[in-house]
Amino acid sequence: MELRLYDTLTREKRPFMPLDANNVRMYACGPTVYDFAHIGNGRAAIVFDVLFRVLRHRYGAEHVTYVRNITDVDDKINERAARDYPGVPLNEAIRKVTELTYQQYQDDVTALGCLPPTVQPRATEHIPEMRAIIEKLIAGGFAYVAEDHVLFSPQAMNAANSVLPRYGALSKRSLDEMIAGARVDVAPYKRDNTDFVLWKPAKPGEPSWPSPAGITVEGRPGWHIECSAMAWKHLGEKFDIHGGGIDLVFPHHENELAQSCCAFHSDRMANVWMHNGFLQLESEKMSKSLGNFFTIRDLLAEWPGEVLRLAMLKTHYRSPLDWTRKAAEEAARTLDDWYEVAGDAEPGLPSPAMVEALYDDLNTAQAMAVLHGLRSAAASSEQSRKELAGSLRLLGFLSESADAWKSRKQQASGIDAAAVEALIAERTAARARKDFKESDRIRDQLAAMGVVIKDSKEGTTWEVAR
């Protein structure tokens, strides 16, 4: 079976050929840590977690390196630190904000069923690598110093006669059009209005580091150079897959690609560029100002993480995803059923048909169709039950036992399991003495409590009604 992935740069689905099958390397842009992550960020984490799992399945768990960075230098972080920790020295306050937010993010995405990436580098721990790339770019004529800033020149890149890709190729923008369309109030130290910042002087009190290129005042990096530096350090000059949300294609990824290719005189930074579509809420753009905004934390208070994960994976990762309550309810019902059927099954090999769907550019929507077919077969086949369990695990589901799943739901619904069991025992006794009036009465009593019972040869089981 061939693995095929869609590449944003070439706009085609291609067979995936790792540079080194013993070490398949992927990078995904992670969170800027100043506040709770929203469910759109959750979607990005889940999508690249599925990719990570698929690669591990294909190449072996120990042959895949997944780097997801933590952006801990940002104006929003500085503002939050000053607001939340008045009186605390800014650098200390910043550390508190980033530590706390990082831990929250970690807990949230773990609850969503995401495996920890192999490395989670922090921007602030890669300043020397950033300075080194900046020095290379200046030496190569792609960047220049002006008023204590270092700027990258896309024009210089496109003028270079070499293996370099064209600036604008990833986002399909023409540099000439960008020049024509750029705002006029451009910072005076820029030679061209499309030049972007690699390094800038720090404002008083802001975190700062010794500057590159002989600049005497301390400074701080631009956002794009952070990812070029972290990817280089942990994955090398060229690696297999670079990912993130579709909003990052321009300018972030276009600029990362430009920096890395120019610094290393390379024709590419990553072989495949992958971008997840945006998540919107009830058909509207998710935004704080509209008030239709959910953090992962908000939703985890109401739903188990696997429910959120399933609701997201029903849609192909490149399509926009409309988040609705109805989708979560439906996912919850599906998971209740899967847990009941396969939660305690010995996991077998995942279904080849499901793996084939995932190998087709992570077609999780098609994978769901396969799972539903397997679920039907599992009603009468132990083999299918095992295959269903193995398939669900590959996708990051069934992380708890069937019992744990059920009791969590009971707790959430406030139903007293012991009282239910006692009523069921009374009903079984009534049925045994053929007192059907009493057994029906108990069934109604349970229904009024929100409990549905099911009789079978093995006895009576129950679940919380939805």
Cβ atoms within 10 Å of 22's Cβ, excluding its own: 10
Establish if 248 lies at the interface with ligand AMP (CB under 6 A).
yes
276 binds, among Zn ion, ligand AMP, none (CB under 5 to 8 A by kind): ligand AMP
In the complex, the smallest distance separating the C-beta of residue 73 from ligand AMP, rounded to whole angstroms, is: 13
Residue choice 279, 368, 374, 464 for contact with ligand AMP (CB under 6 A): 279
* Binding region for ligand AMP (CB under 6 A) out of 192-200, 243-251, 300-308, 442-450: 243-251
In the complex, the smallest distance separating the C-beta of residue 228 from ligand AMP, rounded to whole angstroms, is: 16
Establish if 453 lies at the interface with ligand AMP (CB under 6 A).
no
In the complex, the smallest distance separating the C-beta of residue 38 from ligand AMP, rounded to whole angstroms, is: 7
Where in 23-42 is the site for ligand AMP (CB under 6 A)? 29, 31-32, 40-41
Beta-carbon contacts of residue 155 (< 8 Å; ≥ 6 apart)? 175, 179, 192, 194, 195
Residue choice 36, 102, 189, 278 for contact with ligand AMP (CB under 6 A): 278
In the complex, the smallest distance separating the C-beta of residue 252 from Zn ion, rounded to whole angstroms, is: 6
Establish if 70 lies at the interface with ligand AMP (CB under 6 A).
no
In the complex, the smallest distance separating the C-beta of residue 355 from Zn ion, rounded to whole angstroms, is: 30
φ and ψ of 293, to 5 deg: -145, 125
Cβ atoms within 10 Å of 61's Cβ, excluding its own: 11
How far is residue 71's CA from residue 177's CA, in Å, rounded to a whole number?
Answer: 31
**Which helix (H) or strand (E) segment is 260 a member of?**
helix 254-264
In the complex, the smallest distance separating the C-beta of residue 421 from Zn ion, rounded to whole angstroms, is: 53
DSSP secondary structure, 115-134, as one string: PPPSB--BGGG-HHHHHHHH
Establish if 245 lies at the interface with ligand AMP (CB under 6 A).
yes
Q: Report in angstroms the alpha-carbon separations of 239 from 64, 243, 352.
A: 11, 12, 28
- Residue given tokens 């799972």 in the structure block: 371
Strand pairing of 239-245 and 24-28?
parallel
Establish if 251 lies at the interface with ligand AMP (CB under 6 A).
no
- Residue given tokens 């009791």 in the structure block: 407
Residues at the site binding ligand AMP, with contacts judged by CB under 6 A: 29, 31-32, 40-41, 43-44, 244-245, 247-248, 276, 278-279, 286
